[in-house]
Amino acid sequence: MNKIFFALVMLGVVSLSAQEKTTLPQIGVKTGANMASFNGKNVKNNDYIVGLSAGVYWHIPVTSQFAVQPEINFTRIGGRLEDKVVEKTKTTVKNKNKITLDYIEVPIMFKYYPAGSRFNIEVGPQVGFNIYAHNNATTTTINHITHHNPYSNSLPTFSNSAYNDNVVTTRAKRDVQDLFKTFDYGLNFGLGYNLTDHVNVGARCYMGLKKIAENVNETRETKASIKNHSFSIGVGYSF
């Protein structure tokens, strides 16, 4: 996948240099929403978060069926991670992490318009620069009670709650910028449609190729290879 990434970057450079002089590039703005999560080795119990994106693009027709579109976008992605650690002292620690990551992203999309239609298929590399990383963490510590309730047999109608596990839940919001790498890169795949000469809509999937973190809390024993993954929909306007 890394070889594909760099091959597409080189293709973009060649395509821009080969642009036909008769075509007219268009500058546009775009906005949309995305669903993002983490994937990678040892990444388990993960879930999506919803974020927003906005940016500008430069649509450069190369032929009647092929175009190159560099973009600069602000995107909020991230994900939810859960893990559980059972200690020898018969204490269980459960962590729920909602990670929010803000990126300045620079994709270069290669768009193909079959038979010159308004519909297009796109693919392209992307680099991203992390400018914000925040974790809304919920930690639940369970101290397991192992002794027997002496009244459980004689008073069966009474609750045994006094002898249940001791559960303590804490919530914290903290900056985790130091846990995440600044630079990210990956590949985009998507579909688009030009509603008019100025308005367009599209859907896009991003697959991160670079490990951006190994851990998001101190209690996790197994290191993970955390990578970004997102699906987005959006609308654009070309001037």
Distances from the Cα of 162 to the Cα of 49, 153, 157, 168, 191, angstroms:
38, 15, 14, 15, 58
Confidence (pLDDT) at 13: 53
Cα–Cα nearest to 2, from 185, 180, 211: 185
Dump pLDDT digits (tens) for 128-178: 999 999 999 998 888 877 655 555 555 444 444 444 678 889 999 999 999
Dump pLDDT digits (tens) for 2-42: 556 555 556 555 555 545 444 789 999 999 999 999 998 87
Confidence (pLDDT) at 160: 42
Q: Say what the pTM is.
A: 0.80
Confidence (pLDDT) at 158: 42
Dump pLDDT digits (tens) for 42-90: 787 789 999 999 999 999 999 989 999 999 999 999 999 887 777 766 7
Q: Does position 187 have pLDDT exceeding 60, yes or no?
A: yes
Confidence (pLDDT) at 215: 76
Alpha-carbon dihedral 32, 56, 110, 11, rounded to 10 degrees? -140
In which band, very low, low, confident or very high, does the pLDDT at 92 lie, cut at 50, 70 and 90? Answer: confident
Q: Does position 91 have pLDDT exceeding 50, yes or no?
A: yes
State the average pLDDT for the chain. 85
Letter for the amino acid at 216? V
Q: Does position 222 have pLDDT exceeding 70, yes or no?
A: no
First to last CA, the chain: 35
Confidence (pLDDT) at 8: 56
Q: 2-238 has which fold?
A: Porin (2.40.160)
Confidence (pLDDT) at 32: 98
Q: Does position 201 have pLDDT exceeding 90, yes or no?
A: yes
Express as a percent the part of the chain with pLDDT over 70. 79
Average the pLDDT over 94-103 and give the result: 93
Domain chopping of the chain, boundaries: 2-238
For residues 79 and 216, give the distance between their C-alpha atoms in angstroms, rounded to a whole number.
Answer: 11
